[in-house]
Structure 1
Amino acid sequence: MGNISNILYVVIVSTIRMSVPMILASTGAAFSVRSGIMAMGCEGMMIAGAFFGVFGSFISGSPWIGILFGIVSGVLFSLLHGFLNVKYKVNQTLSGMSVNLLAAAVAPLILQIMWKSKGISPKVASFDKLEIGLLSKIPFIGTILAEQNILFYITILIVIVGWIYMFKTPQGLRMRMVGENPVAANTVGINVALYKYIGVMISGALCGLAGAYLSLAQLNMYVDGMTAGRGYIAMVIATFGKNNPLGALGASLFFGFFDSLQTIFQGSFIPSHIVRTLPYVLTMLVVVFGLKSSRNPAGLGKYHDE
């Protein structure tokens, strides 16, 4: 019985740890899609957040400053994506991929200039486990909570606030209307461009935070390629979760469980390279079989002056 309890504990802790960046990025992707802009740039925003999070922590000695740098960098890259779409009406797939490629080029360039390294930054100040006092005494649940850092609790708060904003406020209703029908929204006096920028900036902030979580909470350094395609998976998760923050939370935990298997089965009889492919195989299966009933906003990729 004790062995089963220990295995369950490891599975849950590892799943949560792997899910947090996916929850943040997919929630951000949901906001971008709801405003009518495809979330193709999530990978680049996560790369920017991961690198500049470490950069901020390195120059300041504080992981909180690193988080701020990560969020701001994600927003800046998202604004590039939004500006190309709203102002110049560039194909959203192309502009998103441009953001991804730019971030993938900028991070190793600065890494080489600053630290003379091709792939790894120095270790920086990062987030430790959060002391939760009496809560840690709760049987089983307390030990799981004791393994989490402050960003886990911030993530849960972001999901709740994001859901309330999206579905329970007039501003969220306007954003969803812009995503469904930008022409009609413009007709009734809604500032379509503004809400598109708000949606894509929220996406950038959360993807930047997701990237910073990877480098400042899961690790204490930046490693080139550490996002490992999670930004693309986040797009699938957002759609799978019906572009709803709560849906993104549930779907991220589902994906996080399979992502955590590479940690759980490390050193087992199962080859590691097979275990590492599981999240990507699952992504393909979800795209093929799980998205048939999912529906994106009707105005996704459309412009208000069409």
Structure 2
Amino acid sequence: MTFNADLIYSIVSSTLRSSVPLILAALGGCFSMRAGVSDLGLEGMMLAGSFFSVFGSWLTGNAWLGLLFGILFGVIFSMLHAVMHITYRVNASISGMCVNLLAAAATPLLLNEVFGMSGKSPMVEAFKKPNWEWLNNIPVIGRILGAQNILFFLAIILVIISWIFIYKTKTGLRMRMVGENPHAASTVGLNVVAYKYFGVAMSGSLAGFAGAYLSLGQMNLFVEQMTSGRGYIAVVINAFGRYNPLGVLGGSIFFGFFDALQTVFQNVFPSQLVMMTPYVFTLLVIAFGLGGGRGPAGVGKHIES
């Protein structure tokens, strides 16, 4: 393979496309962790979003409504995590894994019951790359941005809005206080339970959005286990980015680059070697890149009833 300008454009464009579901899912994890609830259920919420967005698009014939279905069911699955952990005080790692296992078991069953198919769903209406000619006139980055669909730009906007909300608004400050010290937050009159539920609901909505991107943004159908562990990678990215939306953006692009290598170099190196690349770098980041980092001090803590 010859390295030239076209190959570089292809790698960068593919990196941005691959980073979008990671950005969205890890961004959802920011809200959950900042509210004091572990984000280990992201994989299941993403998988639910992938399936139900396709179901919504199949039912309505509209990709935007399909996206809303994915977001809604991402929230519904996140509420299972929230009820178990916040209300019934089940260990957050257990409740998160319950959501992941439920989604992994329910989506193949629903795929067979709803569509009468195994392995993958029928093709549905999906998001197409917008034909924005003016983007191609922008030097260097125009060609790269022109290769993305509308959901990429929405993801970037959501990163900016989330950073402003978490760090520049009174509600965001209070949510961070709940995540750091729920007892102190309760003492000053904050509704700790409500803030925790809000954080988990936001994680579900953004993870559902991430799942919808996989099935309606990158493809036009649902494939069993199509998240392929991206929810777990998003948990690592969230820690790597220090639970900050801007850090999540950078970390997602970093991991998206290695994910993109699967597409760009699949015909150059053995497919098994290329496919394992993102997971190898995930393990390396866990081993060497998270030293000294810590989550909010109040994660997993409850206030006395």
TM-score, with normalisation over the residues of structure 2? 0.98
Deviations 1:76-115 (A, max 9, x none): 1111101111110001000000001111111111111122
Give the superposition deviation at 1:305: 1.6
Which residue is equivalent to 2:202?
Answer: 202
Q: What are the within-5 Å matches in structure 2 for residues 105-124 of structure 1?
A: 105-124=105-124
Residue aligning to 1:193: 193
In structure 1, the partner of 2:293 is 294
Q: Per-residue CA shift, 1:193-241, capped at 9, x if unaligned?
A: 0100110001000000000000001000000011000000000000000
Aligned pairs for 1:162-201 within 5 A: 162-201=162-201
Q: Secondary structure at the match of 1:222?
A: coil
Question: What is the 5 A alignment of 1:83-232?
Answer: 83-232=83-232
d(CA) in 2 for partners of 1:218, 1:51: 14
The residue that corresponds to 1:29 in the other structure is 29
Q: Secondary structure at the match of 1:198?
A: helix
**Counterpart AA for 1:209:** F
Corresponding letter in the other structure for 1:164: I
In 2, distance between residues paired with 1:97 and 1:141?
Answer: 40
2:273 maps to: 274
**Cα displacement (A) at 1:141:** 1.4
Query: How many residues in Structure 1 have an aligned counterpart in Structure 2?
Result: 304
What is the rounded CA distance, in whole Å, between the counterparts of 2:130 and 2:174 in structure 1? Answer: 38
Cα deviation, residue 132, structure 1: 2.3
Aligned residue identity for 2:262: Q
Residue ranges of structure 2 left out of the alignment (5+ in a row):
none
**d(CA) in 2 for partners of 1:304, 1:239:** 24
Letter matched to residue 267 of structure 1 = N
Report the CA distance shift for 1:86/1:3 in structure 2 as closer, same or farther (over 3 A): closer
**CA-atom RMSD in angstroms:** 1.1
Match of 2:76 in 1: 76
**Which 4+ residue blocks in structure 1 deviate beyond 2 angstroms?**
none
Relative to the length of structure 1, the TM-score reads: 0.97
1:51 corresponds to which residue? 51
Give 1:239's aligned residue.
239
Deviation at 1:3, TM superposition (A): 5.4
SS of corresponding position for 1:212: helix
**Residues in 2 aligned to 1:223 and 1:8: alpha-carbon distance in whole angstroms:** 29
Equivalent position amino acid for 1:276 in 2? M
